[in-house]
Amino acid sequence: MNMASASPDNKSGQSAETRKILVWDIPIRVFHWLMAGCFAGAWLTAESESLRLLHVTLGYTMCGLVAFRIVWGILGTRYARFSTFVRGPKAVARYVGSMLRGQPEHHIGHNPAGALAIVALLGLTLVVTGSGWANYNDIAGKWLEKTHAAAANVMLAVVIVHILGVLVSSWLHAENLVGAMIKGRKPGRPEDGIRSAWRSVAVLMLAAVVGFWWLQWQDAPTGDGFGDFQTISMKFRDDDRDED
Ligand code: HEM
Ligand code: HEM
C-alpha cells in the first residue's frame, strides 16, 4: 500500500492541519475531460455514415490522449504516476474490505478499486481505437467490425461503473471527487500536495489536439463527416459575401 497516500478515513478526511491541496495537475484534468467528451462524441456519432470522420477523429484523439497518459504516468507528478496508484489484488481486496466495514481507507490520489477501472479504461481505449483503425482501413474482415462495436460496449459498461464508483466514493468519504477533477484540489496536509500544476504541458497538449482537429477538418472531403459541416459553413460565408 502506498502509505504516504492511504489512511483510515475519519469520514470528513479533515483535521486541524488539513486544507485544500493540489492533487491533480492540469494535464491530468485536461486529459480527463477531453477523454470524457471524446468518448461521448464518438459514442453519439458511431452509427452515422455521414459523421464517420468526426467519429474517427474523436477516436484517434482518445488514442493520442492515452499515449500521452502513459508517458505522464511514468514522468508526471506524484498522484499521476502509475507507481502511486496501480496496486495488486490484495490492496484492492483490503480497500473493498475497509469499505464494507464502514471505515474506508482514505487515499489522496486514486483508490486501488478506482485504479482498476482506470487501467481498464486506458487499455480498452487502445482496443477500441486499434480495432476501429483496422476496420476503417479495411485491414481485416467483418469480425473486426464486430470486435470494435463489442469493445466499445464493454467500455461503456466500465465507464458507467467508473462514474458510479466515483459517486459512491464521494459519498463514503464525504469528498467531492468530481470537483477535485475540475479544480485539482482535495483536503489534505500541505506536505502531501504537488508543487506544480504543469500548465505549459497542458497548453501543449491542447494545442496538439486542436491542431489535429484542424488538420482533419482541412483534409475532409465535402460531404464526408466534417465535410457536411464545411458545406454548411461555406454556405454561410457565401451568403455573407452576397449581402456585402
Ligand atoms: C481510431 C478510432 C476509431 C475509428 C477509426 C473508428 C471507426 C469506426 C468505423 C469505420 C465504424 C463503422 C463500422 C461499420 O461499418 O459498421 C465504427 C463503428 C462503431 N464505433 Fe468506432 N471508431 C473509432 C473509435 C471509436 C470509439 C472510441 C468508440 C466508443 C465510443 C467507438 C464506437 C463505435 C461503435 C459502437 C460502432 C458501431 C456502430 C454501429 O452499430 O453501426 N468507435 N467505428
Ligand atoms: C461525466 C462523466 C465522468 C465523471 C463525472 C468522471 C469523474 C472522474 C473522477 C472524479 C475521477 C478521479 C477519481 C479519483 O479521485 O480517484 C476520474 C478519473 C478518471 N476517469 Fe473519469 N469521469 C467521467 C467520465 C469518464 C470517461 C468517459 C472516461 C474514459 C473514457 C474516464 C476516464 C477516467 C480516467 C482514465 C481517470 C483517471 C485520471 C488519471 O489519473 O489520468 N472518465 N473520473
Residue 185 β-bridge partners: 22
| Nearest ligand 2 atom, CA 79 | 40
pLDDT of amino acid 141: 77
pLDDT at 123 over 70: yes
| Nearest ligand 2 atom, CA 186 | 15
Residues whose CB falls within 8 Å of the CB of residue 138, separated by 6 or more in sequence, listed in order: none
The answer as to whether 147 is a domain residue is yes
CATH number at residue 25: 1.20.950.20
**Residue in 135, 144, 212 to alter for ligand 1 test, most ligand atoms within 8 A of Cβ:** 135
Q: Which ligand lies nearest to the CA atom of residue 159 in the structure?
A: 2
Extract the C-alpha cell encoding 219: 483534409
Domain range for 235 is: 6-243
Under 8 Å between Cβ of 23 and 109? yes
pLDDT at 178 over 70: yes
pLDDT at 74 over 80: yes
Biggest distance spanned by C-alpha atoms of the chain: 72
| Count of the separate structural domains present in the chain | 1
166 lines ligand 2 (CB under 6 A): yes
Task: Report how far ligand 1's centroid is from the alpha carbon of 131 (Å).
Answer: 8
pTM listed for this prediction: 0.88
pLDDT of amino acid 237: 46
The answer as to whether 230 is a domain residue is yes
The answer as to whether 1 is a domain residue is no
Residues with CB under 6 A from ligand 1: 39, 42-43, 46-47, 55-56, 59-60, 62-63, 128-129, 132-133, 135-136, 145, 148-149, 152, 155
% the chain with pLDDT above 70:
84
pLDDT of amino acid 18: 74
pLDDT of amino acid 224: 53
| Nearest ligand 1 atom, CA 125 | 27
Residue 242: pLDDT band (50, 70, 90) is: low
pLDDT of amino acid 230: 53
Task: Report how far ligand 2's centroid is from the alpha carbon of 29 (Å).
Answer: 9
What is the mean predicted confidence (pLDDT) over 11-26? Answer: 74
Task: Report how far ligand 1's centroid is from the alpha carbon of 239 (Å).
Answer: 35
**Residue 204 backbone phi and psi in degrees, to 5:** -65, -40
The residue with greater pLDDT, 225 or 142, is 142
174 lines ligand 2 (CB under 6 A): no
| Nearest ligand 1 atom, CA 135 | 10
Under 8 Å between Cβ of 118 and 162? yes
Say how far apart CA 38 and CA 121 lie, in whole Å: 13
